[in-house]
Amino acid sequence: MAKYYVMAIGGSGALAGESLVQLCAAGFMGNDEIDFIIVDPDQTNENVQRLQQTILNYRKVRSSMNQKHSVLFTPEIKYEPGNFWNPNAGEESNLENGISYVHLNREDNIKYRLLTNLLFSEEKRKEKLDKGYKGNPMIGTIFMKDIEEAEFFKEMAAEENLNLFVFGSLFGGTGASGIPVMGKSLKDMRQERGKGSYIGACITLPYFSIKQPKDTQENEFKKYNVNLLPDSHNFLPAVKFAIPYYINKAKNKENGYDAIYFVGCPDSFEMSQRDFAIGGREQKNKSHYVNLFAASAFLDYAAKRSDNTGAKDTQFFATSVNREGNCLTLNNLPNVLNEDNERKLEVFYVLAIYYLKYFLSTGRNEPSAMTWFYHDKKGLGFKNDFFNTRFIEDFRSYLDKYLIWLGQLQTNSIGLEMFNTKYYNGDADAINLEYYEDELIGRYYLNRPNPKKGFLAAPVRMETINTYMNDAVDHIEKTDYYQKFLDTLHLGSEHFINKHYLKK
């Protein structure tokens, strides 16, 4: 069992972290421990809130299970209250306070004051930064400098063999300022403690653009004295300037990292456009395939940890995408998401729809149809009071999040086409289960080009999926109460996928 720290910095870092949690729920990773750390000056950022809620929901489901034998929700994911760090905490968050501008009046500091005045107007120096650094990493680094004083950093520094992976972007404000500062702090820590740690980062390159604010928004910005505005035209130049920093400091790991992964959107792809948002609850961004690729970088990092700890210089990794038409398919996923793992996403999808659409209603109201669940000898021998347990609601809530996450991956401008999008409302922020009637499965369900021929290619009714559960229950070890329930759902869904769909 290995212990990993995963640090999500900024909005893109939070979205990558969310994808990692979803992969863990679907059966990725082993019986390891993952301790999340979230770094963001905007505590109300919707992306951050979503990651926190997903982790909490994951922990609730997992707490009911026998984790030693679990196929789903296998890693223990921790997130302590002290593991959210706001770089701006303890002071009014503006640039003047960050650089102690008032002390620049002294004669020996006057040149720095003049330089500051040249670079930033008074309005920008006094603007509040509680909604983030708005695409200005040179401002963010000023506030990130105290990261070594954070409680989570002291805890990591005490680890004999530290395994840390950092998510963040290279083109925004928070991630672009936090990743290099974190690297410098880690380099200093290593020099004090020697070797034994393995530290990685996945740095996302531009994968979206921001629409110009509307006139009404500009008036709103003036009302709240907002002068620092991100401009997506600056994203690519910022990246071209920043990448050489990490490469030039790769020798002897001067950048602080053992392994760095770059993921992004190729120039040939149409980038998704996001509405302009200052931050807070308005910054509600859909998950993107780049965020999934970033999460897969952590899986690769964890798999290579034991092989690469002795490398002298920083190692760099990247993955390419060959688009098929206007979408991505399972064939485009990184190598670490191999054939078996691709099916994990599909199996968990079947499980989710079966549970939400069929089990919760039929299981409660038609016991005769649920032999695998109720029968003492041929099934699990459960009673109807199972539906009154807290686990039922916690699991339902998590599966909702999983389906919404998959829907967002698919309905972005360059979507990962795995499922039929008619099952999602609008921008995939909700699931419309009314569509899941008799034509749930078969060619109407998975966007696989090669369902098995004959009757297996036809739509499959819910009752048919139920027969796979009846078969699966005979192969389930009699572990604890909730564990054998989830194992039956998982194995039955897996049998269905293997029976009805060829491998690619």
DSSP 130: T
Backbone angles phi, psi at 210, to 5 degrees: -110, 130
- Above 70 in pLDDT, residue 484? yes
| Co-location of 266 and 379 in the same domain | no
Please indicate, yes or no, if residue 209 is contained in any of the structural domains.
yes
Lowest mean pLDDT among 55-59, 151-155, 260-264, 430-434: 430-434
Would 328 be classed as within a structural domain?
Answer: no
476 part of a folded domain? yes
Q: Is the residue at 325 inside a domain? A: no
Tokens representing residue 55 in the block = 């982790």
Q: Which residue range(s) make up the domain with 115?
A: 94-127
Place of tokens 């572990």: 479
> 194's torsion region: left (phi>0), alpha (psi -120 to 50) or beta?
left
- pLDDT per residue over 150-187, tens digit each? 888 888 888 878 899 999 988 877 888 888 888 888 87
CA dist list (Å): 286 to 92, 161, 214, 448: 31, 35, 21, 24
Residues 294, 403, single domain; the answer is no
Domain identity same for 113 and 201: no
What is the reported pTM? 0.87
Do 414 and 289 touch, CB atoms closer than 8 A? yes
Q: What is the pLDDT of residues 382-435, one digit of tens each?
A: 888 999 999 999 999 999 999 889 888 887 777 777 766 555 544 545 555 554
Quick one: tokens of 381?
């021998």
pLDDT at 335: 78
Assign 228 to helix, strand or coil. coil
pLDDT digit string, tens, across residues 227-239? 555 565 666 767 7
Q: What is the CA radius of gyration of the chain?
A: 25
For 8-24, b where at least 16 C-beta lie within 10 A, e where not — what string?
A: bbbbbbbbbbbbbbbbb
* Residue 148 and residue 294 share a domain: yes
Q: What is the dihedral of CA 374, 376, 382, 384, to 10 degrees?
A: 50
- CB under 8 A, 24+ apart: contacts of 321-326: 321/266, 321/269, 323/266, 323/268, 323/269, 323/414, 326/414
Same domain, 159 and 291: yes
Q: Rounded to the nearest 5 degrees, what angle is found at the Cα of 140, between the Cα atoms of 167 and 114?
A: 155
Beta strands in 247-390 (DSSP E): 259-263, 272-274, 315-318
Gap between the terminal Cα atoms of the chain: 32
CATH number for position 239: 3.40.50.1440
Question: Tokens 């000023």 map to which residue?
Answer: 142
Residues 6+ apart with CB under 8 A from 436: 353, 357, 423
CA distances from 386 to 65, 367, 479 (A): 15, 12, 16
- pLDDT, residue 95, reads 75
Give yes or no: residues 123 and 151 share one domain: no
Is 308 within a domain? yes
Pairing state of beta strands 259-263 and 198-204?
Answer: parallel
358 within some domain? yes
CB atoms within 10 A of CB 206: 20
pLDDT for res 201: 94
Cβ atoms < 10 Å from Cβ of 62: 21
Question: In Å, how far from its chain's centre is CA 247?
Answer: 26
Alpha helices, H only, 127-234: 137-144, 151-157, 174-193, 215-223
132 neighbors 42 (Cβ within 8 angstroms): yes
Q: Tell whether 326 is covered by a domain.
A: no
Q: How far is CA 159 from CA 4, 196, 282, 291, 466, in A?
A: 11, 10, 38, 28, 48
Q: Is 272 found in the same domain as 363?
A: no
Domain co-membership, 217 together with 303: yes
- State whether 205 and 316 are in the same domain: yes
Is residue 35 within 8 A of residue 83, CB to CB? The reply is yes
In a shared domain, residues 123 and 138: no
Q: Which of 46-60, 227-241, 473-487 has the lowest mean pLDDT?
A: 227-241
Counting the structural domains of the chain, the total is: 3
Residues 310 and 435 in one domain: no
Q: How much is the pLDDT for 192?
A: 64
Q: Are residues 104 and 26 in the same domain?
A: no
Instruction: Please give the distance of CA 37 from its chain centroid, rounded to a whole number.
Output: 13
Angle between helices 390-411 and 10-25 (to 10 degrees): 120
Instruction: Convert the pLDDT of each residue in 268-294 to its tens digit.
Output: 455 565 555 555 555 678 888 899 999
Residue 45 lies in a domain: yes
Q: Which of 386, 400, 473 is nearest to 25 (CA)?
A: 400
